[in-house]
């Protein structure tokens, strides 16, 4: 069935347009609430959000939706996505909701749903909710309408939980760390957690005003933190995105370190301790070929999944892996959480920095990446990848790269763009191939 509401990572769009309206949010609350009304107990949903101005509107609408079908609501205020996954499980809730558009600008918003186990919903559960969205809601009688309340200790609960991911003998004393919270959901918890473990924290992107989330700060806008790390003489920089489920690291020289290098570091350190499960790492089709080659040199495997941390997670659970993620910075460490958590991944990197005594630039250069180029082509309609001319150009490119590189071409699951990625040992060849395919897609649209 074609999806009308759910994309790669929940429901997302421009606020007050299309599917991202208060009316839709209320209907999602009614539909998701109805789907999870199972058993005779008093049902509960945990709702968190990031710092977008539209979060107030979407939260209120979803509270109305859930309570109207008989669910009690617990609101946490701004918290990272992984915190909502954690609290859903810890509070024995039937459902968790994160209102966020992640790394997108403030004009966008989104809805991510978690089941009672703290994991993102399966395709099957989302499909069932889509069906309910097209039906009249099953409203309860007046005496069964749900209640709503806010809790004040949610931040403290999350900080306490994530600090448990660091061994008790590790302190960050002596480390100067720049923490960029993207004016987003982690603006209070991430600097606090790192400071509590002993680091000298320089916080930036911690003054949200409703419209500055991800604006010139955070993991998708790195110029500011790169400069700040160098200016402050910091040991390392930690860049999170708007809902803090992804991490990009900046070394002491001001160079960015992506998710592939972070996964390689965490996996090999766990392997050395005998704690790596599954015999390797799960990443997506976008992860660098250099990561795959490095892991093979260590006797480990790289299992590739479709783009989207939920698909990484599905493969991790199926294969018994405990480390997975995306090049973009989503790090899933199943020993410590049920979804991507940028702050937990940051704590693991900082702990490795302390144990190794090496500078970040040395510690985090685990492998030499293969030349890789990704370009996006925006389109307004149609299916350009299904045209004969584009298919032929892609086929020619695959033949040219055979044995020396990879080609990944896919439509985005969150915006109307075609993503064209190629990698191989010859950088000039890679650039030529990507440009050729992009030109073909533009002509087709």
Residues 81 and 119: beta-carbon distance below 8 Å: no
Is there a common fold for 11-152 and 257-341+359-363? yes
Spell out a b/e string for 289-303, using b for 16 or more CB atoms within 10 Å of the CB, else e. Answer: bbbbebbeebebebb
C-alpha 110/C-alpha 356 separation (Å) is: 40
Please determine, looking at this structure, whether the domain spanning 173-256 carries the CATH number 3.40.120.10: yes
**298: nearest Cα among 322, 270, 259:** 270
Residue 142: DSSP 8-state: G
C-alpha 283/C-alpha 371 separation (Å) is: 18
Would you tell me how many other CB atoms lie within 10 Å of the CB of residue 279? 14
As a CATH number, domain 372-444 is 3.30.310.50
| Burial class of 176 by CB neighbour count within 10 A (0 to 12, 13 to 18, 19+) | middle
* Domain range 11-152, CATH class: alpha beta
Q: Residue 414's pLDDT is what?
A: 67
Q: Residue 2's pLDDT is what?
A: 58
**93: nearest Cα among 160, 17, 36:** 36
Segments making up each domain of the chain, as ranges: 11-152, 173-256, 257-341+359-363, 372-444
Q: Which H or E run includes 360?
A: helix 360-363
Establish whether 102 is a catalytic residue.
Answer: yes
**263: nearest Cα among 311, 199, 333:** 333
**157: nearest Cα among 115, 193, 132:** 193
Residue 10: DSSP 8-state: B
C-alpha distance from residue 4 to each of 12, 129, 190, 382 (Å)? 11, 11, 35, 16
Spell out a b/e string for 318-330, using b for 16 or more CB atoms within 10 Å of the CB, else e. Answer: eeebbbbbbbbbb
Q: Residue 421's pLDDT is what?
A: 94
Provide the whole-model pTM: 0.91
Below-50 pLDDT ranges, the chain:
1
Q: Residue 268's pLDDT is what?
A: 96
Residue 371: DSSP 8-state: P
C-alpha 159/C-alpha 170 separation (Å) is: 16
Q: Which one from 68, 102, 192, 328 is the annotated catalytic residue?
A: 102
Q: Residue 276's pLDDT is what?
A: 98
Which homologous superfamily does the CATH classification assign to the domain defined by 257-341+359-363? Alpha-D-Glucose-1,6-Bisphosphate, subunit A, domain 3 (3.40.120.10)
């Amino acid at each position: 069935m074609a999806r009308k509401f759910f994309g790669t990572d929940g429901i997302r769009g421009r606020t007050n347009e299309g599917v991202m309206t208060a009316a839709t949010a209320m209907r999602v609350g009614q539909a998701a609430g109805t789907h999870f009304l199972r058993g005779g107990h008093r049902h509960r949903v945990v709702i968190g959000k990031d710092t977008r101005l539209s979060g107030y509107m979407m939260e209120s609408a979803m509270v109305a939706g859930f309570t109207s079908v008989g669910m009690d609501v617990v609101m946490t205020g701004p918290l990272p996505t992984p915190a909502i996954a954690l609290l859903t499980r810890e509070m024995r809730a039937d459902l968790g909701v994160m209102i966020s558009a992640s790394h997108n600008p403030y004009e966008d918003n989104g809805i991510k749903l978690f089941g009672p186990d703290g994991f993102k919903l399966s395709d099957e559960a989302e499909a069932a909710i889509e069906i309910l969205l097209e039906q009249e809601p099953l409203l309860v009688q007046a005496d069964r309408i749900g209640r709503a309340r806010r809790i004040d200790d949610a931040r403290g609960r999350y900080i306490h939980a994530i600090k448990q991911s660091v061994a008790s003998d590790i302190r960050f004393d002596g480390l100067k760390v720049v923490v960029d919270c993207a004016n987003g959901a982690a603006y209070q918890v991430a600097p606090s957690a790192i400071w509590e473990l002993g680091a000298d924290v320089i916080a930036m992107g911690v003054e949200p005003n409703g419209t500055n989330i991800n604006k010139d700060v955070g993991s998708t806008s790195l110029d500011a933190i790169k400069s700040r790390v160098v200016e402050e003489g910091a040991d390392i920089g930690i860049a999170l995105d708007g809902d803090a489920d992804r991490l990009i690291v900046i070394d002491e020289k001001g160079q960015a370190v992506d998710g592939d290098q972070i996964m390689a570091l965490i996996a090999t350190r766990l392997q050395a301790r005998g704690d790596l499960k599954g015999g390797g790492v799960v990443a997506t089709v976008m992860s660098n070929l250099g990561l795959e080659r490095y892991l093979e040199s260590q006797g480990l495997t790289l299992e590739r999944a479709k783009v989207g941390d939920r698909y990484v997670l599905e493969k991790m659970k199926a294969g018994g892996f405990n480390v997975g993620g995306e090049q973009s910075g989503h790090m899933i460490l199943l020993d410590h959480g049920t979804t991507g958590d940028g702050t937990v991944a940051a704590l693991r990197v900082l702990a490795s920095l302390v144990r190794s005594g090496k500078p970040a630039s040395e510690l985090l250069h685990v492998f030499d990446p293969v030349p890789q180029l990704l370009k996006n082509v925006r389109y307004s309609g149609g299916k350009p990848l299904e045209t004969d001319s584009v298919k032929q150009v892609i086929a020619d490119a695959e033949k040219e790269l055979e044995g020396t590189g990879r080609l990944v071409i896919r439509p985005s699951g969150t915006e109307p763009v075609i993503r064209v990625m190629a990698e191989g040992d010859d950088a000039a060849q890679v650039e030529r191939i990507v440009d050729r395919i992009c030109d073909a897609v533009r002509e087709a649209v």
